[in-house]
Each structure stands twice: as C-alpha cells, then as structure tokens.
Amino acid sequence: MNATVSFMLNGKPVTVSSPSDRKLVWVLRDELGLTGTKVGCEAGLCGACTVLVDFEAVPSCSTTLGEVAGKAVLTIEGLAVDGLLNPVQKAFQEQHAFQCGYCTSGMILTAWAFLKKKPKASRAEIVEAMEGNICRCGAHVRILEAVETAGKTMGGVR
C-alpha cells in the first residue's frame, strides 16, 4: 500500500509515493536516484547507508520512509552547498581518508553530525562516534585524522 510522504531532502521538499514501511535507503537510491548512499549490510551494522535525519546520523537501511515524514533528510549529495565542499569532505579529500570509497559517504555524514555537536572532540570521543561505521580497506587512521582536522576548521581548536 503506497502512502504519500513528504519530507525535506537536501534542503528541498520532496513527496514520495511508496509504502510507508519501505526502507529509506531504497527510497533514496531506487526511487530518487541518490546512489551516494551505499548498502553494506542492510542491518544497521556497517554505517555505509548513513544519512542525517534532522541532523542525527541514522542507518537508512533501518529507517522507514514513514519515519522521516515531515523531517529533514541530508544525504552525501546534499552536503556540498553551491559546489562548496563541507569541511569534513575537504579534510577527507585532502588527507585521502578513503580507499575504495564505499564507506566514505557514511563516514563523512557520521562525522559531520558528530562534529556539529562537538567540534572540540577528543580522539577517544571521535573513535566512539565513528565506531558504528565499518571501513574494510583500513582507512581508519586517516579518517580519524580527517575528522580531527575538520573539527579544528569548524572552530573547535583544542
């Protein structure tokens, strides 16, 4: 049974007609063609599908369309504004904080949501915030450094 669900997607209103229990990841990828959100486990275990819902990082594989009705969803495609990279993206780019890149969207969004709340985070706090995101290529060291750098440029100089 299709429901008509409206929400904000990357700053613009969208209305989707789909079953309200359809997983957000499929709405984004399959219905709206936003394939920057990746699929790694479909069980909330890897973080590859992370998006922000009202600025909270959530696994979109474990979030339903109905749950985002009226909320603001941000995907990796919406992070750079007018071609201007977000500080986390910039740090990931400059420090090569990725290899295959399959975990990268989720990593960047998880880090961004966290740093918005806590730019002055310690290394241990960053580790804790990123713990739900898996990187198989082993880019962890660089990811942590990039998140630290981004935090600093966001004004959280420690």
Report the C-alpha gap between 67 and 58 in whole angstroms.
11
Q: If binding is defined by CB under 8 A, does position 81 make contact with other proteins?
A: no
* Binding piece for other proteins, criterion CB under 8 A, among 1-9, 71-79, 111-119, 148-156: 71-79
Q: If binding is defined by CB under 6 A, does position 101 make contact with ligand FES?
A: yes
Site for ligand FES in 45-84 (CB under 6 A): 45-49, 59, 61
Instruction: Name the nearest CA neighbour of 25 among 55, 61, 51, 71.
Output: 61
**Sheet with 2-9: strands ordered across:** 12-19, 2-9, 72-74, 50-53, 56-59
Report the C-alpha gap between 46 and 61 in whole angstroms.
10
Chosen residue from 13, 138, 157, 158 binding other proteins by CB under 8 A: 138
Tokens at 157, concatenated: 């100089």
- Residue at 8: amino acid letter: M
Size, binding site for ligand FES by CB under 6 A: 22
Question: Least separation, in Å, of the C-beta of 99 and other proteins?
Answer: 3
| Cβ proximity to other proteins, 58 vs 108, nearer residue | 108
Q: If binding is defined by CB under 6 A, does position 144 make contact with ligand FES?
A: no
Instruction: Name the nearest CA neighbour of 113 among 126, 99, 94.
Output: 126
What is the pairing mode between strands 50-53 and 72-74? antiparallel
Token pair 């880019």 in the structure block, residue: 139
Contact residues for other proteins, defined by CB under 8 A:
22-23, 26, 29-30, 33-43, 45-46, 48, 75-77, 79-80, 85, 89, 92-93, 96, 98-105, 108, 126-128, 130-144
Contact residues for ligand FES, defined by CB under 6 A:
39-42, 44-49, 59, 61, 98-103, 135-137, 139
